[in-house]
Structures are given as C-alpha cells and as structure tokens.
Amino acid sequence: MFDFSKQQEQAKEFFSLLSIKSNILIDLHYISHEALIDRSINKKLIIKKAINLREAYRELKNDNAFWKNKMRLENVYFSFNAANNGFNIAFVDDILKIDEFKSKNHLCLIQTSKSKYQAFFLLNEYINANDLAKIQKVLQVLYKGDKAAVGAYQLKRVSGFINTKYNDNFIVKTIHKGDRVLNAKELLQYYEEHIKPKPPQKLQSTSSIKSDKKSKTWSDFYKDDYSSTDFSYALYLLHYYNEEEAKEILKKESKNLFERKGAYACDYIERTIQKAIDVFYKI
C-alpha cells in the first residue's frame, strides 16, 4: 500500500493557492510517460474539462490520479480552459531567473525537475487570451523562460505528482508562494514598446501583403513535407494576424496535425509560430 498523503497535501495546497486568487476554469490532463519520451505517440487523456481550480484536487483524488501517476506513469497536467472570459494568472515555463522571481514575491514557483521550474504571476485584472499571450511573452523575456511556451493554453504541471520524464522519481513541488500583483496594462504597454514584433524592411515593402485578410490556405504552401509547410504557412499568417490568431488558424488548417503530433500538437504549433517570429521578426 502506497502512502500518497504528502503528495496529496502538495497538490491540495497548490490548487488552493490558485483558487483563492482566481476563478479561471481549467482542464486536467494525463500524458503518458511514453508520450513524453516520444512526441509522436498520442497518449494524452482529458481527466476533466472546464472545472474550477477549487475542484481540481478532488477530481484528481477521485480519479485515483496519484496511484496512476506512480504505477502507470501518467503525468498530470492542467491548462486554462478555452471557454474562459478572462485570465488573471500568467505563466512562464522553464524560468531561469529564480532568485529574482522569489525576491519580488510573485505568486507561485514550482520545481518540476532537478533543474527546471514553472512560474505563476498574479495580474490585477482579467484579460483576454491574446493579451495574456503578450504578457506572458514579456515575462518570458524578463525572467528568461521558454520562448515557445507563451500561449494562453499552455500545459502546466501540478505540484505533488511525479515527473516521470527523467526516471528519477522527482516529485513536482511548490518552492515559493507570494502575493505580488502585477499591473496588466503596464505589462501590455511594455509589450507594445519593447517586445512587439516589427516586420523587417523586406516584408514591409512587399506589395502582396497589403490586403487586410489572407487569401491563401495551408494547401497553397504544401509541396512534399508537412512540417516545412506548417512553417511557411506560419510566416504567411503572421503578416495578417497576431500570434494567437495565427496559432489557431495553423492548428485548424494543418493537415493531419493531431495524427502527426499527438499529445504535443499544441506544443508543436507554439514552437512553429515562435520559430517563424524568431527568423523573420526583430524581437
């Protein structure tokens, strides 16, 4: 018989902290160990959709998630639900400026492996998904996080569960809790002044991008490789749409996306758009 009491307390405290600060709806997920190692394997299951943060611990316990995590190597994640009207928590993955985060007493820092961390920041108001992506981009730059993990619906690990990826039985844990509140409008202004992508001269002078709406689809760019087509189409979309809109269009039109990328389809879309920005835009 396994004793999961300490792990359960970690998960309970983690979701309790977030629920006190926010009424965001979330989805709970399992991603199998095999899918973490091989991204072509589609082993992702939704445990529950569109639930309150305060319900999350109970749902996980009722689903025997701690046992499944230990015995079946099912990794537990959550994401913000797409039906939310707004978001007041921002997220940065693989943050490097740990000491600065702690010294400024931001909302929550969890350690996901021996050398990786995920950060949560509290905002002073609820904002839409597009603005959340902009704010997360600002925080990613300021705190040196993962460039590709700035979308509103990024997967996030949960304190109290084993991270099976590195085969060391590391249990994800909360290592800092704070109460600092960030001004969303100031962060958005910072994005506009310092982060917002600016098209280089060769794109600004191209007459084919004068239209307000795109005239081509994913199929117009297809030759013989899906991934290269995704990248080319991503570049095209960024002429007409912001990052979040481009991601959604690419996700919808990319052929056989979920068959090809499985549980990592959304992560793949995030990285494809980010690569397009890094190559053709000055950040």
**Interval 156-175: pLDDT, tens:** 999 999 999 999 999 999 99
The per-residue pLDDT for 96 is: 97
Question: For 241, which DSSP code?
Answer: S
61 neighbors 16 (Cβ within 8 angstroms): no
Residue 1 has a pLDDT of 75
Write down the pLDDT at residue 196.
Answer: 82
Closest-CA residue to 76 (of 7, 43, 29, 27)? 29
Task: Report CA 36 to chain centroid distance, whole Å.
Answer: 15
pLDDT at 132: 95
The SS3 of residue 107 is: coil
Beta strand 117-127 with 181-182: parallel, antiparallel or unpaired?
parallel
pLDDT at 69: 97
Looking at residue 41, its pLDDT comes to: 72
Environment class of 239 (CB within 10 Å of its CB; exposed 0-12, middle 13-18, buried 19+): middle
Which amino acid type is present at position 102? K
- Residue 218 · residue 250 · CB < 8 Å: yes
> What gap in Å lies between CA 152 and CA 90, rounded to an integer?
8
> What's the pLDDT at 283?
39
The alpha-carbon radius of gyration of the chain (Å, integer) is: 19
List, for the chain, all residue ranges whose pLDDT scores fall below the cut of 50. Answer: 200-211, 282-283
Residue 59: enclosing H or E segment and its boundaries?
helix 53-62
pTM: 0.78
164 and 36 in contact (C-beta within 8 Å)? yes
Q: Provide the pLDDT for residue 281.
A: 52
